Structures are given as C-alpha cells and as structure tokens.
Amino acid sequence: MGFLTGKTAIITGGGRAVLSNGECGSIGYGIATAYAKEGANLVLTGRNVQKLTDAKEELEAKYGIKVLPVQADVSAGSDNEAIVQNVVKQAIDTFGRIDVLINNAQASASGVTIADHTTEQFDLAVYSGLYAAFYYMKACYPYLKETKGSVINFASGAGLFGNFGQCAYAAAKEGIRGLTRVAATEWGPDGINVNVVCPLAWTAQLEKFEQAYPDAFKANVKMPPMGHYGDVQKENAVQLITQNKEKHGLENIHVINAKAPDGMDNLPVPTHAFIGGSGGNLKEIIEALKAKNPHIRIVINAISMETICEIKEILSAYDVKNEDIVQLQVSRSKQIGHYHLMQAENPVWICSFEF
C-alpha cells in the first residue's frame, strides 16, 4: 500500500498518449501513473474519450486503484463553470473527497507568431490552460480545505523566456504562475499547499511540435545541460541514472531498480546511508537500515515540514546519538526597478545521526 492510499487526485489532461516509439508521451498520464503506484484513486479529465478509457484500463489493471474518467473541455463559448462543477461533483459522488488537484491540461497553437495569431487560437490557450486552472481551483477549494490538500499547477519556460511563436501559450502559463502565487497566499491559512511546476519533458505534443514547426522548435527547445529531457514516468529515471553512470565512468555506483526499502535485503551491510527521498516510507527505510547495521550513521535531506516532523518523530522514538541538524538557505536576487532584492528559496534541512 502506498502513502496515497485512500486519497483522491484530480488530474486534468490525464489521458494516455504515446510517443512514436510507443513509450508514454503525456505528462498528465505520467503523473497519473506515479499517483496510482502510491494507491491514490484518480479522476482523469480530457477531451479525448479513448485516451481517458485507455488510461483507466491500464492503471486499474496494473495498480488496483479506481479511475474515474470524465470528458471535459474548457473552451471559449462553453458553460465552463458547469463543465468543471460536473467533474468535481462526480469526483465527490464517487470517492467522497478531493486531496490533490493537478492542473496539467493545456492546448495551444504553438509555432504561430503574434502577428499571425488569431483570436480563436489565443482563446484556445487561455481557456484550456488559465481559465481551466481558475475554474478547477474555485470548484475544488471547499473540498481541499476539508482535506488540507494540495494544488499543483503547470506553467512553462515559454513564459519565463519569451519563446518564439508561443505568445498565447506563454500568456496562459504566466497567468497560471500568477494565479498560483495568489492562491498560495490566500489558501495557506486554510492548510492548502499550492505550487507551480515548469517542466521540460519529452511528450507526444513536443514531438508533434518539432515535426510541425522545426524552426520554432530549434529556436525554443534547448537540450538541458544533463544531456536528456525529463521523463514522464519513473521507470525511465532508472535508465537515465544508469546512462549517466556509464557516461561518466562511475563504476562505484550500483543502480537498484526498486522502491526503498524493497530491494535492500541483498545489499552489503552499510556503514552510512544517505536518504534524499523516501516516497512516504521513511520509517520503514530506517527500520530496514537499522536491522542491517545497528550502528549505522544516517543522513536525511528534507525540504517539506511534513518530512521534518517525521524525522522529529523518528529521533524521539529511537535511542540515537551524535545527532546533527543543519539548515541551508539560499537567496537569489531579483531586479525591481533600480533595486536588487534578495528572494529566499525553500530551505533544505540535513539531519544526521547514528544508533
């Protein structure tokens, strides 16, 4: 059972899409897969019924969770509030709660310059992205307040960097960034966590963009310094780690394709362990490490208050020694007029101890 068992997530644009090589090519479906693995029940929305049906069949068969597919299209001229309210009503009627809202859906006419952009094309991006996020956030708010839930919105580097031929897309995504910041301010006191992500992942839409507008693609989409794009499914992350290991000749690294603590039984007895992420299994990982070496030294990274509280519980529950806690804080400058103001990034906690 995963750490999201019994939770419900709404994911817009969650239909199953594939790349030309048959691999998963949708950020929404990649998110749905990750949530399904952790036991969450899902409400997937989108315009294409077949993609939603494919997602439901595969996720339910593989992970034993429940998926509610709902066709929904926020667009100009539609009764969009009613469309979104219908999705939320079905979610509550089916699962009784909403814990996470993920606004991932977005359509646009990328590759068309401002001078050539039509009102219809501009509306396509703004309605499917910005207005959709606005309507879903409004409709889900009372239920997220009950569950102390989370909102994850998706923006893009297109708005941050002013990508050529993406005026409507960039406008929608920058609007989503602003909406997210305001919601984080207003809803924080209600216990709702609101964040925005600006990903670069290789998807079916990006693949089509390259084929349809090769010049715009070349001008806008730059290979990240690590030499690969983000993947929309976790399994591919193992392949990337392995490729980087081989690329840099790191023979002292052994990659284990498993979710800790699974896969740890046959490993050598460790003297030290570094935990950079636990997937909700921190206590189980600690127990497994302690069983292998009762005197092991453990180092844990944490960026959320939930993980910090969990670490505190572990330190209280066990007889630990040589405890050390460090907080790292980084600030980045932002120019406003003639002034440069420092803006703090999220702090990182590093906790180390031994038994």
Residues that are catalytic: 169
**Maximum CA pair distance of the chain?**
68
In the sheet where 67-71 sits, what is the strand order? 67-71, 41-46, 8-12, 100-103, 150-154, 193-197
For residue 186, the number of C-alpha atoms closer than 13 Å in the C-beta half-sphere is 10
Q: Give the DSSP H/E element, type plus range, for residue 70.
A: strand 67-71
Buried b (16+ CB within 10 A) or exposed e, 208-236: ebeeebeebbeebbeeeeeeebbbbbeeb
Separation of alpha carbons 47 and 121, rounded Å: 17
Q: What DSSP letter does each residue of 172-185 carry, written as one string?
A: HHHHHHHHHHHHHH
* Alpha-carbon span 15 to 33, nearest angstrom: 11
Query: How many Cβ atoms from other residues are within 10 Å of residue 311's Cβ?
Result: 19
- Report d(CA 114, CA 122) in Å as an integer: 9
Sign, CA dihedral 92-95-101-105, equals negative
Taking a C-beta distance cutoff of 8 angstroms, is the pair 97, 43 a contact? no
58/18 Cα distance (integer angstroms) = 13
- Written as one letter, the residue type at 346 is N
- Three-state DSSP class for residue 209: helix
Question: CA-CA distance, 102 to 192, in Å (whole number)?
Answer: 13
Q: What is the CA radius of gyration of the chain?
A: 22
At 41 the three-state DSSP class reads: strand
